[in-house]
């Protein structure tokens, strides 16, 4: 892998275009995606409003959050993916953080995803994989599992990133590299660049964006060679301190409530806007329309110092007489005074067939791609979310710019 410093000319151009400050941004533009989605909307007030904003000047918006950069089209957590997200107006960029064998922090969605996000299976480092590649056979899928915790930072840097995918019908490691969804692409994978967490901080700062790192759950038992969960959570914060980043520019994230509470207690300036990523949908009996099924009440979270909560899109909405409206979950969070961030727009592909997991609470209304903007409109205006993660930030930025969200 090329060192991030070898991209200096590229970053200088991007940084010059993106770091001039509010109202002076020189950005690439929205591209065709927002117009495509607007065209799919039924005639009505929302469509008229969004169409009237065609030709507007793009402004960076904190409402628009790059989810792993812009992974609909670029390899996630790469320099190129995040530059693309910033060029689409994302005001906040994400590095999902995990650690290597020598406890260096790097940007990966999971500690055990190297087999689907890099070329590790085609390198000598395949020997480090905890589950070596096994070909598909007799109706059994191909399998592999390769972890950052099994390679050093120096070894990690030798890997080549790719679109997150795998062909589970593959009979060779080369074939396993495929499997990219038809609505994604590998056009922009050449020369993509992996990043450490510290390098992501430098990059995002150069792009004029703010920061939302997510501390990922380890695949290894903690403590790992003397590296505890608390050490891990603290090191994440320390790298922002070392880079001189103001706490108010950072939204730390974790699905582990204990991580969030650790930051609140031990790093209160950073903990003040730490984000609890809520995955209680995995709890038996959970129902987003029934507050009695929530493992923690919204008020109890607030009382422990949590100020930001981040559930998936579907938990915040339901259908009422065929219309998308806020869910009981959203109403409870609002009543407790919690700020809400949600994930992930533009991760579901074409929506004509119900939208899949992210749209599961509004499946009956998800019959066309314009539902992307119908849902976003309800989230912004009725639920009052503070920000939306997207795999293609231009979609959110266009809406935010059109309706005046900063």
> 244-280: string of b/e by CB count within 10 Å (b at 16+)?
ebebeebbbbbbbbebbbbbbeebeebbbbbbbbbeb
Q: Are residues 151 and 258 in the same domain?
A: no
Using one digit for the tens of pLDDT, what is the confidence trace for 138-177? 999 999 999 999 999 999 999 999 999 999 999 999 999 9
Please check whether residue 183 lies inside any domain of the structure: no
Residue 389: name the closest of 41, 66, 8 by CA. Answer: 66
Query: Which pLDDT band holds residue 12 (cuts at 50, 70, 90)?
Result: very low
Is residue 21's pLDDT more than 50? no
- Mean pLDDT confidence for 334-352: 98
pLDDT at 29: 86
Q: Are residues 237 and 193 in the same domain?
A: yes
Q: Are residues 146 and 11 in the same domain?
A: no
Q: Which domain-ending residue is among 149, 176, 203?
A: 176
DSSP assignment of 126-139, as one string?
GGG-SEEEE--BTT
Q: Which domain-ending residue is among 131, 146, 176?
A: 176
Please check whether residue 107 lies inside any domain of the structure: no
Q: Are residues 134 and 241 in the same domain?
A: no
> 208-227: string of b/e by CB count within 10 Å (b at 16+)?
bbbbbbbbbebbbeeebeeb
The parent domain of residue 49 ranges over 4-102+189-403
Using one digit for the tens of pLDDT, what is the confidence trace for 201-235? 999 999 999 999 999 999 999 999 999 999 999 99
Q: Which domain-ending residue is among 148, 176, 204?
A: 176
Q: Are residues 129 and 199 in the same domain?
A: no
Please check whether residue 273 lies inside any domain of the structure: yes
Tally the domains of the chain: 2
Please check whether residue 318 lies inside any domain of the structure: yes
Instruction: Indicate yes or no: pTM above 0.85.
Output: yes
Please check whether residue 108 lies inside any domain of the structure: no
Please check whether residue 181 lies inside any domain of the structure: no
Using one digit for the tens of pLDDT, what is the confidence trace for 92-120? 999 999 999 999 999 999 999 999 999 99
Q: Are residues 88 and 155 in the same domain?
A: no
Q: What percent of the chain has pLDDT over 90?
A: 93
Q: Are residues 132 and 235 in the same domain?
A: no
Q: Are residues 168 and 199 in the same domain?
A: no
Using one digit for the tens of pLDDT, what is the confidence trace for 285-307? 999 999 999 999 999 999 999 99
Residue 155: name the closest of 127, 132, 130, 176 by CA. Answer: 127
Q: Are residues 204 and 306 in the same domain?
A: yes
Please check whether residue 251 lies inside any domain of the structure: yes
pLDDT at 28: 65
Is residue 4's pLDDT more than 90? no
Q: Are residues 383 and 282 in the same domain?
A: yes
Q: Are residues 222 and 314 in the same domain?
A: yes
Q: Are residues 44 and 168 in the same domain?
A: no
> Any long-range contacts for 156-159 (C-beta under 8 Å, 24+ apart)?
156/100, 156/104, 156/106, 156/194, 157/1, 157/3, 157/194, 158/1, 158/123, 158/125, 159/1, 159/114, 159/118, 159/119, 159/120, 159/123, 159/125, 159/194
């Amino acid at each position: 892998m090329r060192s991030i410093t070898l991209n200096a000319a590229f970053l200088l151009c991007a940084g010059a275009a993106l770091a001039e400050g509010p109202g002076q941004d020189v950005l690439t533009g929205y591209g065709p995606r927002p117009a495509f989605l607007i065209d799919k909307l039924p005639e009505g007030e929302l469509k008229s409003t969004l169409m009237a904003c065609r030709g507007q000047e793009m402004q960076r918006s904190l409402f628009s959050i790059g989810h792993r950069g812009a992974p609909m089209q670029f390899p996630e957590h790469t320099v190129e993916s995040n530059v693309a997200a910033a060029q689409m107006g994302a005001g906040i960029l994400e590095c999902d953080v995990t650690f290597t064998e020598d406890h260096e922090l790097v940007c990966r969605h999971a500690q055990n995803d190297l087999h689907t996000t890099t070329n590790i299976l085609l390198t000598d480092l395949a020997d480090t994989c905890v589950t070596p590649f096994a070909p598909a056979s007799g109706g059994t899928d191909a399998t592999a599992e390769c972890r950052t915790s099994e390679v050093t930072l120096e070894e990690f840097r030798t890997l080549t990133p790719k679109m997150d995918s795998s062909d589970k019908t593959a009979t060779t490691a080369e074939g396993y590299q495929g499997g990219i969804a038809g609505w994604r692409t590998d056009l922009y994978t050449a020369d993509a660049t992996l990043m450490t967490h510290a390098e992501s901080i430098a990059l995002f700062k150069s792009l004029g964006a703010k920061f939302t790192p997510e501390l990922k759950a380890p695949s290894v038992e903690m403590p790992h060679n003397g590296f505890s969960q608390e050490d891990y959570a603290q090191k994440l914060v320390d790298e922002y301190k070392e880079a001189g980043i103001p706490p108010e520019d950072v939204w730390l994230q974790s699905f582990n409530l204990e991580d969030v509470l650790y930051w609140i207690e031990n790093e209160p300036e950073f903990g003040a806007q730490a984000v609890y990523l809520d995955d209680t949908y995995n709890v038996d009996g959970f129902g987003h329309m029934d507050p009695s099924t929530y493992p923690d009440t919204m008020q109890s979270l607030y009382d422990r110092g949590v100020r930001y909560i981040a559930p998936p899109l579907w938990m915040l909405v339901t259908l009422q007489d065929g219309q998308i409206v806020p869910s009981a979950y959203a109403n409870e969070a609002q009543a407790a005074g919690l700020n809400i961030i949600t994930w992930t727009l533009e991760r579901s592909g074409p929506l004509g067939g119900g939208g899949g997991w992210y749209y599961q609470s509004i499946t009956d209304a998800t019959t066309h791609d314009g539902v992307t903007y119908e849902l976003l409109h309800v989230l912004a205006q009725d639920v009052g979310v503070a920000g939306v993660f997207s795999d293609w930030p231009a979609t959110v930025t266009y809406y935010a710019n059109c309706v005046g969200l900063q």
